Structure 1
Amino acid sequence: MTSYAVLGPGGVGGLLAAVLARHGHEVVCLAREETVEHLREDGIRVRSGIFGDFTAAVDAATVLDRSVDACFVATKATSLREALTRLPRPAVGNALVIPLLNGIDHVAMLRRAYDPGSVVAGVIHVESTRVSPGTIEQDSPFARVSLASDTTPAGRIRPVADDLSAAGFEVVTDADETTILWSKLSFLATTALLTTRHRATVGEVRTAHHDELVATARQIAAVSGASGGPSDADAILALVDAFRADGKSSMLRDLENGRPLELDAIGGAVLRAADAHGIPAPTVRSLVAALDGG
């Protein structure tokens, strides 16, 4: 049995915590005091087409106060620095630190904060929402986690991958960290920037803003390729075409609900990489500027 800490029991973190706890692992969720009290009393309720409907008992604390084997970091990028106060380095020790955030810059940040040999790049593909404290709805037909690390031996990652797989996630461990991070960011930045800029669903972006969609995908693919990631714009567009027409990006949902946008972590990361490699990305730059000013 593996022991896990989950920093940020929201849509993603709450789903992970509940599914792992249901499969017999010790799980402690790290959150604000009011959330901690709720989770201790009522656990986490999940409604999911993949994992079923169930309630899992979990422990909870405001700060990590015990030894664990691995820590999932599942906060929003906008609140990461503040949230890390709940995960002090002495308590983490040599436990694996596995971020499942949007963007790419957080991996280097976490390697400065913790043992760099224990930080694993992680990416999750899932539509999962915390509809109320301790209640998670997961409605996508997929739940896939990719894990890779330039600093952590594969043998240390394998037990976590096995636990996730046994719990029902599709798990990928055969790619390098640059590939998994840029593969997610390329699709995410394309959809997030366009849906949020135009307050539109993915289907509306495909039809009403097709030329801008193609330009954005091509520019992001070029930046990704220069950074060592995939460079196939057609692959990004194929993912956008396959996405359900009424789908919305998490950034658009944040805008609609008055929450801070992960604009710097998503669009900003693409532009910083573009500048570093001398790649013009005028459409991406225009979208980020419009969202930053609006």
Structure 2
Amino acid sequence: MVQVAIVGPGGVGGLVGALLVRAGHDVVFVARPETAARLNAGGIEVHSVRYGDFTVPARAVALLDAPADLCVIATKATTLQDALERVPAGGAELILPLLNGVDHMEVLRGRYPSARVVAGSIRVESTRTAPGRISHTSDFCLVQLAGDGAASISEWLSGAGLDVTVRDGVAELLWDKLSLLAPLALITTVARASVGQAREMRRDDLVDMVSEVTAVARANGCQIDAETILGVIDQIPAPMKSSMLRDAEAGRPLELDAIGGAVLRAGAALGIPTPATARVVAELGS
């Protein structure tokens, strides 16, 4: 049995945490006081096309008060700093961020120097419909890991039913995800449309952004090309909405800096022009 802290029991953290509880691990959820109270009272209820419908008891706290073997950080980038105030230094041996973007790795390694921060990415369609209520609508839950400690985390997550791959390079893993996520999130949100509509309405912007982001990704060691990413986006079911678009529709803060801003900063540092991405980011930020 592993002691696990889940920071941010939303669509991703709630699902991962509930699966770990069901697998027999000692899991504590770290959340705002009102959310913690709801979880303690009602547990976590999961409705999943893959894992079925199940409910697990949830132990939740507003501040992590005991060391954990693993701390999974699954917040939005926009709430990361607030969430980290709930996790004191020395609170975990291993830290696994399942966050969008690339810049959070440096933040976490600076804040938790005694911990091993393992790079991670997750591909899943999972949404928190209410505190402690998770709707998992994809038949997949794919996790990729890289870094010292990845093998142990892979064993724990695989045992809970997730599909896990361990990769060699941290930067390659993070940019592999961002090369798809950035153009997809930005184009759907700027068009305020599902992926099928957005890739037709703003096709030229999409093609240009894919070209720019993949150029930056390759400069960071990711073996990916624009044609491949564009092909993946073109195969995504037309009704799908990105999480950034859902945030925009709900009036929530956007992860614009973590996703689009990360591309612009890396491009500037490497001398790679990113005019289309900059234009869309500016349009969304206005």
| TM over 0.5, shorter chain | yes
Tell me which residue corresponds to 1:4. Answer: 4
Establish whether residue 81 from structure 1 lines up as the match of residue 81 from structure 2.
Answer: yes
Tell me which residue corresponds to 2:179. Answer: 186
Tell me the CA shift for residue 222 of structure 1. 0.5
Tell me the CA shift for residue 35 of structure 1. 0.9
Tell me which residue corresponds to 2:192. Answer: 199
Gaps in structure 2 of 5+ consecutive residues: none
Tell me the CA shift for residue 41 of structure 1. 1.4
- Kindly report which structure 2 residues correspond to 1:26-37, keeping only aligned pairs within 5 A, or say none: 26-37=26-37
Tell me the CA shift for residue 205 of structure 1. 1.9
Tell me the CA shift for residue 229 of structure 1. 2.0
- Kindly report which structure 2 residues correspond to 1:45-194, keeping only aligned pairs within 5 A, or say none: 45-92=45-92, 95-115=93-113, 118-149=116-147, 152=148, 156-194=149-187
Tell me the CA shift for residue 117 of structure 1. 5.5
Tell me which residue corresponds to 1:287. Answer: 280
Tell me which residue corresponds to 1:209. Answer: 202
Tell me the CA shift for residue 212 of structure 1. 2.0
Which ranges of 4 or more aligned residues in structure 1 deviate by more than 4 Å? none
Counterpart code for 1:254: D
Tell me which residue corresponds to 1:228. Answer: 221
Gaps in structure 1 of 5+ consecutive residues: none
Q: 8 Å contact 1:192–1:249 — kept in the other structure?
A: yes
Q: 8 Å contact 1:110–1:116 — kept in the other structure?
A: no
Tell me the CA shift for residue 104 of structure 1. 0.3
Rounded Cα–Cα distance in structure 2 between residues aligned with 1:180 and 1:28: 28
- 1:246-284 per-residue CA deviation (whole Å, 9 max, x = no partner) reads 011111100000100000000000000000011111110
Establish whether residue 260 from structure 1 lines up as the match of residue 260 from structure 2.
Answer: no
Rounded Cα–Cα distance in structure 1 between residues aligned with 2:41 and 2:254: 31
Tell me the CA shift for residue 243 of structure 1. 1.2
Q: Secondary structure at the match of 1:90?
A: coil
Q: Secondary structure at the match of 2:187?
A: helix
Counterpart code for 2:173: I
Rounded Cα–Cα distance in structure 2 between residues aligned with 1:55 and 1:219: 44
Rounded Cα–Cα distance in structure 1 between residues aligned with 2:168 and 2:228: 17
- 1:184-233 per-residue CA deviation (whole Å, 9 max, x = no partner) reads 11111011110000101100122222222111111110111112223411
Q: 8 Å contact 1:35–1:133 — kept in the other structure?
A: yes
Normalised to the residue count of structure 2, the TM-score between the two structures is 0.97
Q: Secondary structure at the match of 1:97?
A: strand
Q: Secondary structure at the match of 1:237?
A: helix
Rounded Cα–Cα distance in structure 2 between residues aligned with 1:251 and 1:109: 22
Rounded Cα–Cα distance in structure 1 between residues aligned with 2:144 and 2:180: 15
Tell me the CA shift for residue 169 of structure 1. 0.9
Counterpart code for 2:26: E
Tell me the CA shift for residue 116 of structure 1. 6.2
Q: 8 Å contact 2:167–2:173 — kept in the other structure?
A: no
Rounded Cα–Cα distance in structure 2 between residues aligned with 1:20 and 1:52: 15
Normalised to the residue count of structure 1, the TM-score between the two structures is 0.95
Counterpart code for 2:33: E
Rounded Cα–Cα distance in structure 1 between residues aligned with 2:189 and 2:243: 9
How many pairs align? 286
Q: Secondary structure at the match of 1:69?
A: strand
